[in-house]
Structure 1
Amino acid sequence: MIKRFDKIEGRYIEKIYGQDRFGYSQSDNEDLYDLIVWAEQGGYRGSELLFYDFHTGNVYKPFDKKRNTVYGAPVYVEKFLYFLQGDYDSKKVTLYRYMPEKILEKVVQLNMEDVNLYNLIIIGNPLYIISQEAEDGFRCYYPDKISFPLKEQQSVILIEDGKVYIEEWVEEGWDVAAGRATDQYKYYNRIIIKNFAGNTISEELGCLNQSADGDWWIS
């Protein structure tokens, strides 16, 4: 059976892990950091964030398109949808709690000058606003202020129960001089768990994968 949403725009619908009722789409692929780049070129046209209800076929837009405003990918945490809105005109990043036809409320608002917009996302359960890059390291802005260094090959994947879960990709058997893999070449991931002070609790071979129901699996 083929069904239709009440608003057709030819957009691909992304999954939101942890539930199966709502999906989302964004009008383009710009992220929060791109606001800085666009500002140097005269400003950004603005983006739209749409939510699709697979139970009713309704399409919801929490905000109309606004110049110099962009949205981050939403997450589902504790029965609500959450997303970041970056407004370069006001120099604010706002976290919203949302459930179509029920609630749209501001959770916290951050000054852009106080955050690193590069890889600024929301993760975890409960929810955390973080950024990460090799030079600036890992930083958490809400609800706790946390920071510690990261290696270039490391990425924070999850924060849960007071622990920060990091994936690190590892290459073995790569001939740098020849620029190619040897017969002993291996590529794999490790999981490093740290506390909020940045101290390592444990390390193990593995890769973190989130299933549709929101659970995490180590492979």
Structure 2
Amino acid sequence: MTPPAAPPAPSETPAALTADEIWPFAGLRVVSGDLELRYLDDDLLLRLAVLAGQGVHEPDAMPFLTPWTRGTPLEVARSVAAYQWRNRAEASPDKLGIELAVVRDGEVLGIQGFYAGKFAVTRTAETGSWLGLRFHGQGVGTRMRRVILHLLFAGLDAHEVTTSAFADNAPSNGVTRRIGYEPNGVDVVAREGKPVESNRYRLTREVWEAQADRPDVQLHGVEPVRRFLGLDAPTDPVG
């Protein structure tokens, strides 16, 4: 007589994926006093887009290589939203462009971003930012740059951070020099059909660590970002 077949083994249900695993940047927050850099969810993004449509700089200035601020308020707002959605879709450890909302007392002031290619290998990132025009001249630009530097150096183990600014953008150049970046060359680029000089700067980890006036900063949600970038295994700094 043939013995009865063994009952089938119970199927294993895979563990549910967490929000951090699906999108590691969703919980990223960097806080210093009343100023916060926060992941741009769709609510913050739409508020940011409205802010951009209200003006980012004076009409006779252009601080960006791509003149995305030209157009009607609706065109500018839609451009901002489309750009951020594209950044999300294209994010990978090999090429990353993350822009965080700058928030103060619940109000969105602008963005502070960082951009990198193969960051786990190079440990180098570029920063960029903008503020709504009505928030210029309040010292926010310096504060938010110091906050993103803390994220990059203390949170993500960067070895070097770079940035650039057009030679005629005095506020941006002033913030960069005040924070301690060193000049790193000059490029001539085409801006709205005309040549213009762009100053390049670099800040090393050693110079940043030696600064006595660094602000108090709290990091939240950094570990999922580290895993996404492949930072669990430390790398040796470039000599």
Q: Give the TM bin, normalised by the shorter chain.
A: under 0.3
TM-score, structure 2 normalization: 0.24
- Structure with the bigger percentage of helix: 2
TM-score, structure 1 normalization: 0.25
Query: Which structure would you say has the larger RCO, counting Cα contacts within 8 Å and 6 or more residues apart?
Result: 2
- Larger of the two Rg values belongs to structure: 2
- Structure with the bigger percentage of strand: 1
